[in-house]
């Protein structure tokens, strides 16, 4: 993921993510180090990807995603799914 992840790109990014998940053979690795902005639409994309993948690893977390976590995303609810 890179750039701004919000509702304006949601449909396109979700379609790309779905295609990637369909071809995935193994755990999903998500790198958000190049994400410059993320709102709840971006978090929704991450949650949908996590639900569709057998396992998820966050390889790098950008400041905007880190801010979302601090603002109320409850990682303890997703810890089992994200590990």
Instruction: Using DSSP, state whether 25 is helix, strand or coil.
Output: coil
The 10s digit of each residue's pLDDT in 10-56 is 899 889 888 988 888 888 888 888 999 888 888 888 888 888 888 88
Helices and strands, counts by H and E, the chain: 4, 4
Q: What is the CATH number of domain 2-82?
A: 3.30.750.24
Q: How far apart are CA 42 and CA 81, in angstroms?
A: 17
The 10s digit of each residue's pLDDT in 54-80 is 888 888 888 877 776 666 655 454 444
pTM of the model: 0.69
Q: Which residues, 6 or more positions from 62, have their beta carbon under 8 angstroms from its beta carbon? A: 32, 33, 34, 35, 36, 38
Task: Provide the β-strand partners of residue 4.
Answer: 37
């Amino acid at each position: 993921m890179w750039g701004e992840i919000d509702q304006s790109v949601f449909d396109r990014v979700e379609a790309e993510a779905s295609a990637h998940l369909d071809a995935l053979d193994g755990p999903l690795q998500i790198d958000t180090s190049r994400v410059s902005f993320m709102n709840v639409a971006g978090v929704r994309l991450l949650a949908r990807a996590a639900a569709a993948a057998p396992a998820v690893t966050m390889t790098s977390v950008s400041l905007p995603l880190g801010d979302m976590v601090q603002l109320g995303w409850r990682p303890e609810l997703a810890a089992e799914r994200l590990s």
